[in-house]
């Protein structure tokens, strides 16, 4: 009787170890990489709040990926509510800092995507160019049009590896 208990305990622990191991290896954000360019309508989504400066950065990004095997879609920030990071190779969010906070749709989206943070590239603009969400690796700057190319290049440096273009 004692040996049967030991065997059952050993089997239960073995199944538990396998289950926990599979959970640790599973990343819902990796699912996109297996079917890139086959089923997803876009590889890269750029969610832009809209301003002359932000639109300039967006234009530079779209032109950069034109002619490469990257399908790009530009959306307004309010569309973030309908997106899931695991549906795309990367999502760029370009927004301003409003009254000591990011826009509500940005904050909600980022909080929902905690498992997929490595797919997000965030550019935050503010008057002094330093504000960003706490704990978020974001590119920050002031909205100075002469710096649009510099910020776009910083975003591209983060995007290319996500889009498989870093080779």
Q: How many CB atoms lie within 10 A of CB 129?
A: 15
CATH number at residue 98: 3.40.50.360
* Residue 17 belongs to a domain: no
- Within-domain flag for 2: no
Reply yes or no on whether the pLDDT at 33 is more than 80: no
pLDDT of 35: 39
Residue 150's pLDDT is: 95
> What is the residue-averaged pLDDT of the chain?
81
Q: Please tell me the predicted confidence (pLDDT) of residue 36.
A: 45
Q: Say what the pTM is.
A: 0.76
Give yes or no for a contact between 121 and 159, defined as CB atoms under 8 angstroms apart. yes
18, part of any domain: no
Q: How many domains does the chain have?
A: 1
Q: For strand 120-125 and strand 72-76, is the pairing parallel, antiparallel, or unpaired?
A: unpaired
For residue 53, being part of any structural domain is answered with yes
Q: What percentage of the chain reaches a pLDDT higher than 90?
A: 30
In this model, does residue 32 exceed pLDDT 50?
no
pLDDT tens by residue, 130-156: 777 777 778 888 889 999 999 999 999
In a domain, 16, yes or no: no
Question: What would the two tokens of residue 59 be?
Answer: 């234009």
Q: How far apart are CA 139 and CA 51, in angstroms?
A: 17
pLDDT at 1: 65
| pLDDT, position 167 | 58
User: Is residue 26 predicted with pLDDT exceeding 90?
Assistant: no
Q: What is the pLDDT of residue 41?
A: 56
User: Which residues, listed in sequence order, are joined to residue 140 by a DSSP beta bridge?
Assistant: 124
Asked if residue 66 is part of any domain, the answer here is yes
In a domain, 91, yes or no: yes
1 falls within a domain: no
pLDDT (0 to 100) of residue 31: 45
Range of the domain at 42: 28-162
pLDDT tens column, 80-115: 988 888 888 899 999 988 878 888 898 899 888 887
pLDDT value for 58? 95
- Flag whether pLDDT at 38 surpasses 70: no
Give pLDDT, residue 135. Answer: 72
Q: What was the pLDDT predicted at 19?
A: 62
């Amino acid at each position: 009787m004692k040996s049967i208990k030991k065997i059952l305990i050993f089997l239960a622990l073995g199944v538990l170890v396998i289950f926990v191991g599979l959970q640790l290896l599973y990343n819902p954000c990796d699912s996109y990489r297996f079917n890139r360019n086959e089923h997803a309508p876009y590889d890269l989504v750029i969610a832009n709040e809209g301003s002359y400066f932000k639109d300039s950065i967006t234009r530079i990004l779209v032109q950069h990926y034109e002619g490469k095997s990257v399908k790009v879609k530009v959306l307004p920030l309010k569309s973030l509510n309908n997106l899931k990071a695991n549906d795309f190779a990367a999502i760029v969010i370009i927004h301003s800092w409003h009254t000591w906070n990011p826009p509500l749709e940005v904050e909600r989206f980022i909080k929902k995507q905690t498992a997929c943070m490595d797919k997000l590239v965030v550019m935050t603009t503010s008057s002094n160019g330093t504000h960003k969400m706490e704990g978020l690796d974001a590119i920050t700057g002031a909205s100075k049009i002469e710096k649009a190319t510099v910020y776009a290049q910083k975003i591209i440096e983060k995007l290319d590896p996500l889009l498989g273009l870093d080779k």
